[in-house]
Amino acid sequence: MTARLRAAIARRFGVDTRALAALRVSLAALVLVDLCLRARFLGAFYTDAGVLPRSLLFEQYGTISRLSIHAISGAAWVQAVLFLVTALAALAMLAGYRTTLATIVTGVLLASLHYRNPLVLNSGDTLLRMLFLWGVFVPLGERWSVDALRDSDDGPRRVASVATAGLLVQVIVVYSTNALLKLRGEHWITGDAIRYVLELDMFTVLLGDVLADFPMLLAAFDRFWLVLLVVSVLLLVLTGWLRAAFAGLFVAMHAGMLVSMQLGLFPLVSMTALLPFLPSAFWDLLPGWQRVPGHRALPISRYTSIVEREFPLVTLPAIPSVALRWKRRVVPVVVAVVLASMLVWNAASVGVVDATAADPVTESPEPRWSMFAPIPASTDFWVVAPGELVSGGSVDAFHGGAVTWREPSDVAGSYPSARWRKYVANLRGADPAVADGFADYLCTRWNGGQDDELASVRVFVVEQQVRLDGPDPTDRVELAAKNCSVQ
């Protein structure tokens, strides 16, 4: 391999250590925000009194669910402690304190939380886990961290390795897979897809309500986004400011999703994943953050003594030199295997390779990155849970108040959060036992806090098919029925 070729590869697969620091801070911050949002429904989603008790979790999701640390107990206080431990690990990661260890602990606990209730997950959660996986193998604490303040060595400005290649390629895989799936549906080619999506009131918020009235503009956004996805490999091919500008287009589109659709943290996770594509020239422009010899952290090096006092160094057992030598040999191989497996899995998920010959890929792997593809969602739905009270009256056991089948004035707002909407979406195609778990939860929640108890409850989703050229018909679909006196 010639020096010129090595330099070309390093330019495309190398990452500025300040970009890695920004990635570390963003990942940790996302985990903290995610924990706060999830904590609002800790009892509903992560305890045995919620919609998915551990017995149902193990029955539906088998071995992988048993690997969840959060599944050791169904008590709310245990889940609260695990949330707190995860938050402490994320704070250590945010500060860059024992960065690799903090990243591993945060990533493991995050994955454990995800596996405790797969019914509330989306593609953003999957991408977040993958970013943590690659983050373990790259020097996230090299700059702007407590670890960097303690290290007198100035450290590298850029890092190029199999792990940085995996970090960058992961993003390309997400976009390319989604592009292939979108090209298999006619709506993305004709320019109607985004219009269909924004006609779904369960997703549309803020700017989306305004954009829905401009179909020609939406068609332009549709085609522009599809073209970006198709040529997303240019994120790797381009370098310097051209790469930064191209990444900026993706960031702008994700920002548009954030202010127009209720997608949870997905747009923010996607924007975070683009940080490693920003070149050194970008970081050099930020005032006070230039690479000054001996100053690998933010411009607070004069406070090193304070950092030493407030963040005492935790002494860990020394790793034997033999183990270090094996680590240097084995880790790149492990990372290369992970990268190859990720590529094969995603290629199999879209039919590019034969899944049956691609062990350990299953025979029918589902695409991980099928967001609104190959065809956009075209059915709105909202929950109605009519319950009969012991006194003889009736109530909507999910929302409270009187039972009504009419479309809510704000369908997106009728769900307590984006994760509740995702949960209901997964109920529609799940085993009936899963929907029964929702009915059980409604009985338990209502009867635990109301004097007039529920005698029975039925759970419906009202589905409304979106039509661009006529009225939208509705249909009531019953998911579960429960006698609340039988638990």
Q: What is the pLDDT of residues 36-82, one digit of tens each?
A: 999 999 999 999 999 999 999 999 888 788 889 999 999 999 999 99
Q: How confident is the model at residue 91 (pLDDT cuts 50, 70, 90)?
A: very high
Average pLDDT, the chain: 82
Peptide bond preceding 360: is omega within 30 degrees of 0, i.e. cis? Answer: yes
DSSP calls for 269-304 = HHHHHTGGGS-HHHHHHSTT-S-BTTB-SSS-GGGH
Preceding omega of 374 cis (within 30 degrees of 0): yes
Cα separation values, 424 from 84, 109, 267, 420, 462, Å: 27, 25, 21, 6, 11
Q: Residue 360 in contact with residue 354, Cβ under 8 Å?
A: no
One DSSP character per residue, 422-481 reads HHHHHHTTS-HHHHHHHHHHHHHHHHTT-SS-EEEEEEEEEEEE--TTS---EEEEEEEE
Check residues 372 and 393 and name the one with the higher pLDDT: 393
From 1-5, 272-276, 326-330, 380-384, the region with the lowest mean pLDDT: 326-330
Helix-strand-coil split of the chain, %, nearest 5: 55, 10, 35
The Cα 163–Cα 168 span in angstroms is 9
Give the pLDDT score at 434: 92
From 236-250, 412-426, 462-476, the region with the lowest mean pLDDT: 462-476
| pLDDT, mean of residues 90-99 | 93
| pLDDT over threshold 60, residue 208 | yes
**383 forms bridges with which residues in the sheet?**
461
The amino acid that residue 243 corresponds to is R
Say if residue 487's pLDDT is above 70. no
Does the pLDDT at position 399 exceed 70? yes
| pLDDT exceeds cutoff 50 at 363 | no
What's the pLDDT at 457?
92
Burial of 199: CB neighbours in 10 Å, binned 0-12, 13-18, 19+: buried
* Pairwise CA distance, residues 74 & 283, whole Å: 46
Range with the largest mean pLDDT of 143-157, 186-200, 329-343: 186-200
Q: What percent of the chain has pLDDT over 70?
A: 79
- Range 374-381 average pLDDT: 76
Quick check: 480 pLDDT over 50?
A: yes
Q: What is the pLDDT of residue 485?
A: 79
Averaged pLDDT, 279-289? 80
Residue 295 has pLDDT above 50, yes or no: no
Residue 218: per-residue pLDDT: 81
Taking each helix axis from N to C terminus, what angle separates 3-13 and 162-182, rounded to the nearest 10 degrees? 60
